[in-house]
Amino acid sequence: MIRVESVGYPRTFRGATTLQFSLQTLTSQLGLLVGPKGFGHYWKTHYADKTFEHLYRWNAFDTAMLIPYFIVMIILAFYGIHRYQLVWLYFKNKKNAAKWSEPPMRFAEGQLPFVTIQLPIFNEQFVIERLIEAVCSLDYPRDRFEVQVLDDSTDETTEVAREIVERYARGFVGMDPQPIVYLHRSNRHGYKAGALDKGLDVARGEFVAIFDADFVPPRQWVMQVIHHFAQPEIGMVQTRWTHLNRNYSFLTQVEAILLDGHFVLEHGGRSRAGVFFNFNGTAGMWRRETISTAGGWQHDTLTEDTDLSYRAQLVGWQFKYLQDVECPAELPIEMTAFKTQQARWAKGLIQTGKKILPRVLKSDAPWHTKLEAWYHLTANISYPLMIVLSVLLMPAMIIRSWQGYIQMLLIDFPLFIASTMSVSTFYMVSQKELYPKSWYKSIIYVPFVMALGGVGLTITNTKAVMEALFGVKSAFARTPKYSVKKKGEKSQAKVYRKRLGIIPWIEMAIGCYFAWTVYYAISTENFFTVPFLVLFVFGYWYTGLLSLLQGRFERSRGPDQEMHEKPYPVGV
């Protein structure tokens, strides 16, 4: 016999009945049972009870909290609505999608133009051979083709790359001698932009294709792209990134979905609507004349690709995006590497916005093109706004609860749908477009995409955005590449692993703060806010913990795996 005492209800149970009673008690507390004490009762007592109506009085403190709270929420809602707009543009202008197999014009057979392939590298010894092998296997006449390896490395990569280039230039069994040259700079002036510009000084190509070290272009890539330049007004053609190591880890799955959204709906929506969009720094081809007439490669921003793209389109060149031409690449396998990449992009876009937006707004471009450019180049301002929202969320939630839950739902819920749910819609649409038969398998990743892309990167990207706004210069930090594809495959990350700094600890602390807000919301039975708050907890804890823990086990295996101190990557 087991006797259980519950306040006011002494009962006697046997065996399994105890478990049933416990479950009923827990469910009743959450207000999810049907009947007199069920959800209807919960709604009436928490949201329809007007006992304290008109007792709340507005005060100065509430004003100081709620005005910035609503300003931030409204701005974030506008950027969220813009995601819906990109989806609408993508489908509305579907007939305008460019196809690699349907160029309006083609070069005459036997008169293909000369193409230069530029491979900018920096301390990337583990992937350089894979890259050169892929590029030297491209299907294009060798008398109209050359490869430049533009090496700014300061480590063993110089020896590795030079030896590989010499081997492919000589030729070997199964590979004829290739028109490939090795160009090394003793300084990193201008970083990647400087290397590309230096290569152009000796390039022979009328057209220039660029591949970063982590890319593996397919054999047919050049032939799929080149004929679109038969239209004399086309200045650049961008192709879609795919992912060599998408299934390597949970992190790479989330990264892949984030990039898919960009390459399907952002590039797809903008290019189909005929507004400005950008070259992504790799997996694209330029008309050399376009680069020169736009002012050449400039290195006053960290996104020299976006900078040149806008300058080229402002002087009249047209761009094409070929969504059906894929170019596989390696995703960052470590959280710190991923944050380095995202911070560089965030800072570079704000720098480009400060530089280019005044020209765009003063140009003769249509107003909708100017508006899209504004959204594109200022989107990362949302990260500092998320910091403000993080600070104000808890006091705002308490103040708003005193105002009445109905008012909260009528005002906060639409803002939540606009600013937050747009993210899940955006990325799921991209998955459905790419994988119409299996897209639903990505649903499980959506909360984590929202937590990582919208919350977890907030600290590092806010730091980057603020540096851009205040003109703080920093080095071009390349993303480490380790040539890993499959689950369980070991990386050589110890060589290029980043220094951690204090940011992961800040992320952990903020995650703890939001864990407390979750506890407060549950204890006050404000359950509608819990899913939203949990995204903050997971986003901050996930990025912070991975930054702190990744690589710890490798380092503990022995003294032979000590970290190498190198000028790259720059610590975040």
Which residues are tagged catalytic? 152, 305
Distance CA 555, CA 562 (A): 7
Longest dimension (CA), the chain: 94
Nearest-5° angle of CA 551, CA 556, CA 559?
Answer: 115
Of 206, 209, 238, residue with least CA distance to 309: 238
Distance CA 469, CA 347 (A): 9
Distance CA 182, CA 169 (A): 10
Of 317, 318, 313, residue with least CA distance to 360: 313
First vs last Cα of the chain: how many Å apart? 61
Of 344, 337, 346, residue with least CA distance to 484: 337
Distance CA 429, CA 447 (A): 15
Nearest-5° angle of CA 41, CA 44, CA 46?
Answer: 105
Whether the CB-CB separation of 196 and 210 falls below 8 Å is answered with yes
In degrees and rounded to multiples of 5, residue 201 shows phi and psi of -60, -30
96 by DSSP, 3-state: which? helix
Residue with tokens 């899209």: 372
Packed helices 304-314 and 191-200: angle between N→C axes, nearest 10 degrees: 60
